[in-house]
Amino acid sequence: MRLDGRCHCGFLSFEAEGDPQNVSICHCTDCQTGTGSAFRVSIRTPGKSFRMLSGAPTRYLKTTAESGNPRVQAFCPQCGTPIYSTAPGDNPDSYMVRVGTLRQRGELTPKQQNWFRSARPWVTALASIPRNEKGRP
């Protein structure tokens, strides 16, 4: 599937190929901190298919909390939108692209949840929480 996306302010835009079967939710504490939320939703894309179309992301190397693996985290230098993570070095094998940045996000249903032991307890009860179609009443 062809994917295209951008950051919140539009400074960064990119494209990639991705299989909708490779969409996952990560509940690890690094992802919670990196999103400022309860989890992160990403799609694995082949490294050779990922291409920046405009702008250059700010990147920093983060050693993941539990595995100790180094991961490059990339985000917009203007608005801070997280764009992807990948292995360090040139020509990585894959990118974990943040689904919320993609125009096709409505077609990308997660197929797996990782690090569920770190999931916030209320995540499984979302359907029982009152909801509004728009904003607060």
DSSP H or E run through 16: strand 13-17
Taken in order 28, 34, 38, 39, the sign of the CA dihedral is: negative
Over residues 83-93, the pLDDT tens digits come to 999 999 999 99
Over residues 3-20, the pLDDT tens digits come to 999 999 999 999 999 999
Give the whole-number percent of the chain exceeding pLDDT 70.
Answer: 99
Write down the pLDDT at residue 4.
98
Write down the pLDDT at residue 6.
98
Give the whole-number percent of the chain exceeding pLDDT 90.
Answer: 91
SS3 state of residue 93: coil
Write down the pLDDT at residue 75.
98
Residue 65 clears pLDDT 90, i.e. is over it: no
Write down the pLDDT at residue 39.
96
Average pLDDT, the chain: 95
* Residues whose CB is less than 8 angstroms from the CB of residue 135 and which lie 6 or more positions away in sequence, other chains included: none
Write down the pLDDT at residue 67.
76
**Residue that the structure tokens 């990308």 belong to:** 108
Over residues 107-124, the pLDDT tens digits come to 999 999 999 999 999 999
pTM: 0.93
Q: Which two tokens stand for residue 91?
A: 């020509």
* Cα–Cα distance for residue pair 56/42, rounded to 1 Å: 20
Q: Which two tokens stand for residue 3?
A: 């994917």
Write down all domains in the chain, each with its CATH number in brackets: 2-120 (2.170.150.70)
24-28, 66-70, 120-124: range with lowest mean pLDDT: 66-70
Question: What are the helix (H) ranges across the chain?
Answer: 29-35
